[in-house]
Amino acid sequence: MPSSKKTENSIQDFEKSLQQLEAIVQQMENGELGLEDSLKQFEQGIKLAKNCQNALSSAELKVNQLIEKNGLQQTIAFDEPHD
């Protein structure tokens, strides 16, 4: 199934982007970078964060589509805190 492979790749891309973002944050928090490198890494971090947000939005859309397809009435709000 092509959509299953696409979903798997999307998950792997999300996880890879998240790991890279965490490494950048770690370097910046530890003061391991000079100003110029910090700015470059910050720019890269913004791109990675955007990629992660896009992947999460796609996952949310897919979940809601599956809920609708299966006749479930309840939708999941990913941006609201749950008890």
Domain range 2-69, CATH class:
mainly alpha
Residue 62 confidence (pLDDT): 87
- Helices 35-69 and 2-30: crossing angle, nearest 10°? 150
pTM, rounded to two decimals:
0.67
Residue 71's pLDDT band, with cuts at 50, 70 and 90, is confident
pLDDT digits (tens, 9 = 90+) for 3-37: 667 667 777 889 999 999 999 999 999 998 899 99
- Report yes or no: 21 and 48 within 8 Å, Cβ to Cβ: yes
pLDDT digits (tens, 9 = 90+) for 29-66: 999 889 999 999 999 999 999 999 988 888 888 888 88
Domain coordinates in residue numbering, the chain: 2-69
